[in-house]
Amino acid sequence: MERTRVNLLGIELDNPVIPASGTFGYGREFAGLYDIDILGTFSFKGTTLHPRLGNPLPRIAEAPSGMLNAVGLQNPGVDKVISEELPNLSKIFHKPVMANVSGFSIEEYAETCRRLDACAQVGWLEVNISCPNVHHGGMSFGTDPVQAAAVTKAVKAVTSKPIIMKLSPNVTDIVSIAKACADAGADGVSLINTLMGMRIDLRTRRPVIANVTGGLSGPAVFPVALRMVYQVARAVSVPVVGMGGVSSAEDVLEMMMAGATAVEVGAANLVDPFACKRIIEDLPGIMDKYGIETLDSLKTGGSTAG
């Protein structure tokens, strides 16, 4: 539908709704439930240079208005993603897909991005410098502007596709990280990843997650995410992809009014596998309710004043 279309770094999306990495796999499970071509796109499971089994169990726990996870980037490695997952994906999803990339060194980030850059179906590379659930990697690059810029420069040097740097909320000043990435050549930024949290089992007196801490996601983090998207969108000139606790069409519109060009939906997919389908179907009616003719109009004066 014309009124819900958005343009993300030169690629037109039918709508701004994007399932977030780690909540949609490589699309197969959801394609058995509905036609995933209705999505704007989706960010596939976080991919590393080498295969990873992830963290020990248990690694998921409930939390008030959300969930904790410490999956630890379980994935088959980039070569198998390219040789098996992407060919299978091309049979069920007929749009450019967003490739989510993680690493444990700048060289790993660059090499994984270089390999995925050659894949025709990959439209964007979302470079995750914000995962809180792995040691000696991920978030350690996203909490230091110098390191964030170094990863950005390294992946830009080996790729031709748009680079979106995924940022951590577990910092004092997310704006400084966003600016460092943009100044280093990032084409866009996405935020937020999960907030670090933990739960303790009162009976065992031990953390409920084997990793001790995990990433908090779900509706509980939405106000934090919205605030950070608002601040970053006003500080950088590159597009912002907003995420964090989004579970309704109203949330999508709030994110876009805060400055997001597109919106990722994460934990909601794990609670309701039809969440993104529902949000997309609800969006035109909610736009009507609030007098929004097109989503583009939110960029041209319909969004919240700075």
Catalytic residue numbers? 131
Rounded (10°) CA dihedral 36, 224, 214, 43: 20
Bridging pattern class, strands 122-128 and 97-101: parallel
Task: Please give the biggest Cα pair distance in the chain.
Answer: 55
Start-to-end CA distance of the chain, whole Å, equals: 29
Contact 126, 101 (CB under 8 A): yes
Contact 189, 179 (CB under 8 A): no
User: Cα separation of 252 and 265, whole Å?
Assistant: 9
Residue with tokens 């390219």: 82
User: Which residues fall within 8 angstroms of residue 14, CB to CB, at 6 or more apart?
Assistant: 1, 4, 5, 38, 40
Joined tokens for residue 301: 């004066």
